[in-house]
Amino acid sequence: MQDDLTLDAPQTDPATEAARLAKLRPADIVDILNDRDVEEAALPLPYLPLDTLIEIFDQPELIFAEVLILKLPEDLAARILSRMSFDRATDIFHEMPEDDATRMLRRLEPEARSAIEDLLAYPPNTAGALMTTEFVSVPADWTAAQTLDHIRKVERTRETIYAIFVCDPHKRTLLRAVSLRRLITADPAANILTVARDATPVTAPPTMDREDVARLITKHDLLAIPVVNRAYQVLGIVTVDDIVDAIIAEGTEDVQKFGGVTASEDPYMQIGFGQMLYKRAGWLGILFLGEMLTASAMQHFSDELEKAVVLTLFIPLIMSSGGNSGSQATSLLIRALALGDVKLRDWWRIALRELPTGLTLGAFLGVIGVARIALWQVSGFYDYGEHWMLVAITVGAALIGVVGFGSLIGSMLPFVLKAVGFDPASASAPFVATFVDVAGLVIYFSVALILLRGTLL
C-alpha cells in the first residue's frame, strides 16, 4: 500500500528520523528497519516513544530483534522487554546469546521475569513456547456484567480479550470458553457459565507441536486456544496470529526441506555466505555419497557397457523419469500427511494406489520413448544398430519398471520417515531422486540382460 513511503537512505540526524518514523504504522517501520543493516537500524530507536518501540518489537517480522534490543540503553531495553507481549519477548530471549539473556532477564520487572522464565522452559515450536500468559480468565460464579467490567480494567495488559476462559473458583480448572461476542450480547445479570456455549473447550497440552496447534485452531475456527496442564488449569493461550506466523514458517520449512536444504527461518538476503554454504553443503555432500552408488552400479555393469554403448544413451532419460515420478508422489504425500488427509496406518492403501499409477505413467512414457527411437531410426537421424527394435523395447520396459518403482518409493518414504519419528517433509526431492537413480540403473541393466542376451549382450 505504501511502497512509495520507503525511507531508503537513513537521515543524518537520528532524532529527526525517529520523528518521521513514529508517524508510520508499526509494520511499516519494521519493513524499513529490516531493509537496513543492524547498526543503521538501531540509530533512531532510542528517540522513538516507548509505546512505539513496544509495538515494533512485538512484530515477529522484525529480523535481528535480539541484536537490536541489545544495542539500546539497558534501561530502555528492560522496559521494552517487560512490557511487550510475553510470548514474543520469550522468542527474543531464545535467540539471544546466553550471557546477554541471563543479564537482561535479571533487569526485567518481576512479573514479566517470572512469566518469561516459565515460557523459556518449553521446547521451541511447541504450544508452550508459542503461548502467552496474558489472557483473560474469570471464576465461574461471576455474572456477565462483572466479567465485562473486569475485561475493561485489564484490557491493556492482555494479548486478546476476544476469548474469555471460565474457571472453577477453587480448583482453577478450565470449565468453559466464552467469546466476547457472546458476552456483549448476553443479559448482564446472567451467570457467566450460562452465557458460554454448552461444550468443553478445545484445548492443547503445552508439548503439542505448533503444526498440530495450527490444525486445531483452523479446524475449530478459534481466535485463541487455551494451553492446559494435566490438572486442566490454563497455562496460557495461543492466538490465531501466532499461528498464522507458524503456518507460514512451516510452509517455508516444507518447501526448503523438500528442496534438500537445511530449513531455517532467516530471510534469504540475511543468510551470510558461510552460513549459506553450511545450509546446503551438508545435504549436498550426503546426496553425493549416495549418488556414488550409481558409479558403483555402472562399474558392476561395465562389461555390458563396453559391449553395448548404445544403452548408455538412454541412462539419463530413464533415471530422471524415475526421479520425477518419485518427486511427484512425495510432494503429494508430504502435504497429505501434513494436512491430516492421510494417516500413517493408511500406508498400504497408498501403496496399492501408487504402484498401478506409477506403472501406468511408466507405460505412457515407455510408448513415447519407443516411438522416439523408432522415429529417429526409421527417418535416419541416428543409427541405433541392427537390434534397434530390441533396444527400444528394453528402454520402454525399463521405463515401466523405473517409473513404477519411483512412484512407490516416493510415496512410501514420507511414511517411513514419519514411522521412525522424523518429519515426513524431510523426504526431499533430491533424496528421492538419488534413491531412485541407483535402483533405476539396476532395473535398466537387468531388463537389458534379459531382453538383449544373445544379441547385443
The nearer residue to a second copy, 67 or 442, going by C-beta atoms, is: 442
Part in contact with a second copy (CB under 8 A); list of ranges 14-22, 116-124, 226-234, 351-359: 351-359
- In terms of Cβ atoms closer than 10 Å to its own Cβ (0-12, 13-18, 19+), residue 184 is exposed
Shortest distance, position 450 Cβ to a second copy, whole Å: 21
Shortest distance, position 138 Cβ to a second copy, whole Å: 15
Query: Does 218 help bind a second copy (rule: CB under 8 A)?
Result: yes
The nearer residue to a second copy, 26 or 236, going by C-beta atoms, is: 26
User: Is 130 within 8 Å of 177 (Cβ atoms)?
Assistant: no
The beta strands (E) that lie in 95-245 are given as 136-139, 163-167, 174-179, 224-228, 234-239
- In terms of Cβ atoms closer than 10 Å to its own Cβ (0-12, 13-18, 19+), residue 356 is exposed
- Report the helix count and the strand count for the chain, using DSSP H and E: 21, 5
Alpha-carbon separation of residue 406 from 103, 260, 327, 403 (angstroms) = 54, 18, 8, 5
Give, as ranges, the residues between 263 and 302 that touch a second copy (CB under 8 A).
267-269, 273, 276-277, 280-281, 283-285, 287-289, 291-292, 294-295, 298-299, 302
Site residue total, a second copy (CB under 8 A): 113
The nearer residue to a second copy, 17 or 250, going by C-beta atoms, is: 250
- CB within 8 A of 235, min separation 6: which ones? 128, 131, 133, 206, 227, 228, 229
The nearer residue to a second copy, 14 or 132, going by C-beta atoms, is: 132
Query: Does 250 help bind a second copy (rule: CB under 8 A)?
Result: yes
Query: Does 217 help bind a second copy (rule: CB under 8 A)?
Result: yes
Part in contact with a second copy (CB under 8 A); list of ranges 8-16, 114-122, 229-237, 244-252: 244-252
User: Is 101 within 8 Å of 92 (Cβ atoms)?
Assistant: no
Residue tagged 523395447 (cell numbers): 393
Query: Does 312 help bind a second copy (rule: CB under 8 A)?
Result: yes
> Coil, helix or strand for 434?
helix
Question: What nine digits make up the cell of 374?
Answer: 523408432
Query: Does 162 help bind a second copy (rule: CB under 8 A)?
Result: yes
Query: Does 447 help bind a second copy (rule: CB under 8 A)?
Result: no
Query: Does 150 help bind a second copy (rule: CB under 8 A)?
Result: no
Give, as ranges, the residues between 357 and 396 that touch a second copy (CB under 8 A).
357, 360-361, 364-365, 368-369, 372, 382
Give, as ranges, the residues between 14 and 73 that touch a second copy (CB under 8 A).
25, 27, 59, 61
The nearer residue to a second copy, 137 or 327, going by C-beta atoms, is: 327
User: Is 334 within 8 Å of 405 (Cβ atoms)?
Assistant: no
Query: Does 82 help bind a second copy (rule: CB under 8 A)?
Result: no
Shortest distance, position 167 Cβ to a second copy, whole Å: 19
Query: Does 321 help bind a second copy (rule: CB under 8 A)?
Result: yes
Q: Residue 267 and residue 264: Cα distance in Å, rounded?
A: 8
Query: Does 203 help bind a second copy (rule: CB under 8 A)?
Result: yes
Site for a second copy (CB under 8 A): which residue of 244, 355, 374, 457?
244
Alpha-carbon separation of residue 8 from 29, 35, 37, 40, 112 (angstroms) = 12, 8, 11, 11, 35
What is the C-alpha end-to-end distance of the chain, expressed in Å? 68
